[in-house]
Amino acid sequence: MHKNLLLGVEAIGQGAIDGGISGVYAYPGTPSTEITEYIQANEITKEKGIRSKWSANEKTAYEAALGMSYAGKRTMVCMKHVGLNVAADAFMNSAITGINGGMVVTVADDPSMHSSQNEQDSRFYAKFAMIPVLEPTNQQEAYEMTREGFQLSEDLGVPVMVRITTRLAHSRAGIKRKEVIAENDLILPSNPSQFVLLPAIARKQYKGLLDKQYLFEQASEDSKYNSFTKGTDKSLGIIACGITHNYLAENYKDDECPYSILKLSQYPIPGKLLAKFEDCCEEVLVLEDGYPIVEEAVKGIFKKDMKVSGRLTGALPRDGELNADLVALSLGKEVEKTVSIPEIVTNRPPALCQGCGHMDMYDALNEAVNVYSKGRVFSDIGCYTLGALPPYKSIYSCVDMGASITMAKGASDAGLIPAIAVIGDSTFTHSGITGLLDAINDKANVVIVISDNEAVSMTGGQESSAVGKIESICEGVGVDPAHIRVETPMRKNHDKMVQIFNEEIAYDGVSVIIFRRDCIQVLAKRKKIKPVSLK
């Protein structure tokens, strides 16, 4: 009987604990957040003292994890797909340094952009860095791959990526656990220059990475997660990557699939297994959630000239996550006839919570900037991004973590004055501080609003690295203390807030306005009361 009903992300958290980690490093980001939360709340974490506090951003998290690996311990770093962009410098170079203690890089992609600004596929990053990827089909594999990932990393000498998507991340199923593997001892790398990427050493290390590629491919050939099932009908063969294997299976619940199937859950693509598959089909359909990375790759590997279809050919949609229906259609199967959604049903987008301080901030901001032409407010990633929607329609950008300050600065440099940035407290410490430094050094004319709710709220109210530090950071970076303004965003303070905006817009220099009030959700959790519903 299945006893542990776990989300895919929780299964990964459990896998890491059972795989013998000494520390997990992460910055919250949907759909990856609950991996770290699960580890933080786990009894074993407390007993063993597994390090699990949130990092300031994905880059600091990645580097700290690499440091733990250097010291010989097993470690995991987790992030959402766009978080890997932030950590990319460390990520790419860690493939060249290699690891000492086993290191798993867990990246949760978000095809269909449920909670993200793009749907980039992290398998591309892994290919770019030339490291192996484990892509679980289901929650049990997510658990086992993570648990075994540390050993694989130690065997191959590089970080190993576990790549999941939102669907698996946030779906629950029963998990069978295995025993907990003991932590590694503290032991330094046998080669003292392994982590010193001076050009002369880096060239050698890079050759080493290239030389090891065949080992990575051999690991994929031998992997129990990759399998070839020979079919009876040679007219088609199907490559099913990760979770898409479930969608294929859903379409053959009652009868055997007549086609040969290559289940692909560990990369690089195993050439020998692929050749076996190639011999058993005349045409190939590739199912993959994300970019058409396998579809493109196999065309160059197959020996015979074979038609390959998938997302690139239109057999499947080019964007968005797959499902059993889309897979059915790509196989020429019929899907159930269904009724359509009645026309009366309207969209219900997410909204700021009743009583949220961001609302008061936007009310004051709108009043202050309404006297100017539109298009002057640059924003960032967080709950306050909802200020782009009615009734506020206040902001004109949301690009990446920290971009509000730097884009406002650039626009101001171009002559757009006033230019205003709206950023959250946690986003500010994640990636806003260096942008503020640029603004100071360039004496830019910008107004920066830090809408501070003392939590990482969009992802569920995690502890913010910024708590208690924002004013001193701004001063330290060089903001004139007379232009660091602090106010509580509340209805009764509206006029005062508008006045602060007016005064700081009039100032030709860098102003920081900190509107600080607790996140209403975090407050409710703390007080164990439910927030009032919107009516």
Q: Which residues bind other proteins (CB under 8 A)?
A: 1-3, 5, 7, 30-31, 33-34, 114-115, 167-174, 243, 246-247, 249-250, 253, 323-325, 328, 335-342, 344-353, 383, 386, 390-391, 458-459, 530-531, 533-535
Which CB, 202 or 351, lies closer to other proteins?
Answer: 351
CA 246 from centroid of its chain's CA atoms: 23
CB atoms within 10 A of CB 372: 14
**Of the candidates 378, 417, 419, 420, which has an alpha carbon nearest to the alpha carbon of residue 400?**
378
The minimum distance between CB 374 and other proteins, in angstroms, equals 21
Question: Residue 165 phi/psi, 5° resolution?
Answer: -120, 170
Positive or negative: CA dihedral 452, 454, 456, 461? negative
The packing angle between helices 139-156 and 213-222, to 10°, is 140
Cβ–Cβ under 8 Å, residues 80 and 32 = yes
Which CB, 492 or 530, lies closer to other proteins?
Answer: 530
Helices (H), 279-430: 293-301, 324-330, 357-369, 403-413, 425-427
CB atoms within 10 A of CB 530: 8
Which CB, 172 or 207, lies closer to other proteins?
Answer: 172
Which CB, 225 or 501, lies closer to other proteins?
Answer: 225
The minimum distance between CB 198 and other proteins, in angstroms, equals 42
**Of the candidates 204, 161, 519, 234, which has an alpha carbon nearest to the alpha carbon of residue 357?**
519
Which CB, 51 or 177, lies closer to other proteins?
Answer: 177
The minimum distance between CB 354 and other proteins, in angstroms, equals 9
The minimum distance between CB 393 and other proteins, in angstroms, equals 13
Q: Residues 6 or more apart from 186 whose CB is under 8 A from it?
A: 71, 72, 73
Which CB, 300 or 342, lies closer to other proteins?
Answer: 342
The minimum distance between CB 20 and other proteins, in angstroms, equals 28
The minimum distance between CB 34 and other proteins, in angstroms, equals 7
Which CB, 339 or 482, lies closer to other proteins?
Answer: 339
The packing angle between helices 8-18 and 33-41, to 10°, is 50
The minimum distance between CB 255 and other proteins, in angstroms, equals 13
Query: Quick one: tokens of 528?
Result: 């164990």
**Of the candidates 155, 271, 173, 165, which has an alpha carbon nearest to the alpha carbon of residue 212?**
155
The minimum distance between CB 142 and other proteins, in angstroms, equals 12
* Host H or E run for residue 477: helix 470-477
Which CB, 50 or 386, lies closer to other proteins?
Answer: 386
Cβ–Cβ under 8 Å, residues 372 and 502 = no
Which CB, 180 or 389, lies closer to other proteins?
Answer: 389
Query: Quick one: tokens of 176?
Result: 């069978």
The minimum distance between CB 326 and other proteins, in angstroms, equals 10
Which CB, 278 or 454, lies closer to other proteins?
Answer: 454
Pairing of strands 227-229, 259-264: antiparallel
Which CB, 348 or 492, lies closer to other proteins?
Answer: 348
∠ at Cα 148 (63, 55), nearest 5°?
25
The minimum distance between CB 396 and other proteins, in angstroms, equals 19
Distance CA 395, CA 413 (A): 19
Which CB, 414 or 529, lies closer to other proteins?
Answer: 529
Distance CA 175, CA 491 (A): 49
The minimum distance between CB 6 and other proteins, in angstroms, equals 11
Would you put residue 414 in left (φ > 0), alpha (ψ -120 to 50) or beta?
alpha
Q: Which residue has the tokens 């009908």?
A: 233
The minimum distance between CB 297 and other proteins, in angstroms, equals 25
**Of the candidates 153, 193, 161, which has an alpha carbon nearest to the alpha carbon of residue 77?**
161
Cβ–Cβ under 8 Å, residues 96 and 128 = no
